[in-house]
Structure 1
Amino acid sequence: MKPQITIDRAQIWIAVAILGFVALGSFWVESAFRQRGEEDAQKLAIRLEPDYYVEQFNFIRLSNSSKANYHLTGDKLVHLPRTDQYEITNPHINSFAEQRTPVTIIAARAVVDQKSNTVIPQREHDIVRLYDNVSVERPDGENSHFMRLETDYLMLTPDDDLITSDHPVTLFTQGIEARAVGLVANIATQQLELLSKVHARLKKRGD
């Protein structure tokens, strides 16, 4: 005699089957998300690594009037694809133009943000951030005197010929040594302003 499947028992088996499908579906979704997460993590790790580099590079930046005004060299330049930035080891920058005393800027490291409409937020200007053992030096010229600036951080905006910093700085000129926090300097006009906590010392001859 064949066993009879009651309605209650049939409902139980249907419920069990539904639970099984739900469990399988959840396992599949979890596996899919885990795999996607691993792939995204791998892609992110790849993008965090430089995608190319140049050693002993030499670069001249032209002004809007097509006259060279910034000559940049360095031991190594790497491109960081995630942030679309350039990192430079031992950058050496010479700013020069007609009727202007040249200015030399060196540092241990620099990070360059080039103007771009593809990144968020958009970059409207080229920005060079200089870190560690930063030195800016201007020799004696026809219309200017010797000046050297030392700090651990500077920001250079080539489009505006501006140098700014909110870090401690030390300024050396003929007969004066000044210390301050923050500065704004215009390379085109070769004017410099110390912003706060300014302390100056007159140097004796022979110091």
Structure 2
Amino acid sequence: MKDRLSVWFPVGLVFLLALLTFWLDRMVQPPGAQKDGSQRHDPDYWVENFTATRMGPDGTPQYVLVGGKMTHFPDDDSTHLVRPHLTRYAKDLPPMHIDSQIGQVSKDGEHAWFSGDVKVVREAGRGQSELTMATPWLHVIPDQDFAETNREVTVRNAGTRIAAVGMEFNSKTRIIKFLSRVKGQHVKTK
């Protein structure tokens, strides 16, 4: 009997320690924490040096998005862009180009956010000169031809330079609304 006790005692002690370790692990884990990876923000795919074109119903391009890298994250269905260049084509309007260091596209594709040295160029068109904008951050709703920022922005157009904080721009109506601290300079062209 004594020999059995000396053999089973260490086994029982190890079992008790394993049970205690399991219980302690359960107590320290936050509620709802899952170890299946669903809480991680890992990409499911990425594409390097890409070009994506969205066509209109008539078969002409509406948007062309070119970039250094596009990464998709399934947990929030977001798409992150490196060095994006977006060109918007619209009937009877000159093309508009947006360049930045990084960008993000909403899961439905209706919104895009650009940041890091954002440059916007609306090409010259019928009766209008080229328009350029520079800002550190820009929110774009491409289907509405609308862009906005709440940061510093500089707009240049045929001898006019306007600096402001905050802007709303409707490319279709050609209306720019500056939101605060507006300073303008106009140089008469010869």
Secondary structure of residue in 2 paired with 1:40: coil
* Amino acid paired to 1:191: I
With structure 2 as the length reference, what TM-score do the two structures score? 0.78
Compute the RMSD of aligned alpha carbons: 3.0
Q: Displacement of 1:172 after TM fit?
A: 0.7
* 1:85–1:114 CA contact under 8 A, matched in 2: yes
Task: Verify: 1:174 aligned to 2:158, yes or no.
Answer: yes
By percentage of residues, which structure has more helix?
1
Once the two structures are TM-superposed, the CA of residue 98 in structure 1 deviates from its matched residue by 2.3
* Structure 2, unaligned runs of 5 or more: 1-16
Find the aligned partners of 1:161 and 1:63 in 2 and give their Cα distance.
15
Matched, 1:31 2:31: no
The answer to whether the 8 A contact 1:101-1:144 is kept is no
Q: Secondary structure at the match of 2:34?
A: helix
Name structure 1 gaps, 5 residues minimum. Answer: 1-22, 116-124
Count the aligned residue pairs.
174
Select which of 88, 94, 102 maps to 2:95. 102
If you compute each CA radius of gyration, which structure gives the higher value, 1 or 2? 1
How big is the shift at 1:202?
Answer: 2.2
TM-score (norm 1): 0.72
Give yes or no for the alignment of 1:128 onto 2:112: yes
2:173 pairs with one of 175, 178, 189: 189
Return the alpha-carbon distance in structure 1 between the equivalents of residues 166 and 56 of structure 2: 27
Q: Distance in 2 between matches of 1:189 and 1:67?
A: 22
Equivalent position of 1:50 in the other structure = 43
Q: How far apart are residue 62 of structure 1 and its match? A: 3.6
Contact preservation (8 Å) 2:88, 2:142:
no
Matched residue of 1:48: which SS?
coil
Counterpart check, 1:40 vs 2:24 = no
Per-residue deviation, residues 150-184 of structure 1 (Å, max 9, x unmatched) = 00000011232210111110011111111001111
Give the percent of matched residue pairs that are identical in Structure 1 and Structure 2. Answer: 25
3-state SS, counterpart of residue 43 of structure 1:
coil
| Counterparts in 2 of 1:99 and 1:55: CA distance versus 1, 3 Å | same
SS in 1 for 2:173: coil
1:53-202 equivalence runs, <5 A: 53-63=46-56, 67-115=60-108, 126-202=110-186
| Compared CA separation, residues 197 and 35, structure 1 to 2 (3 A) | closer
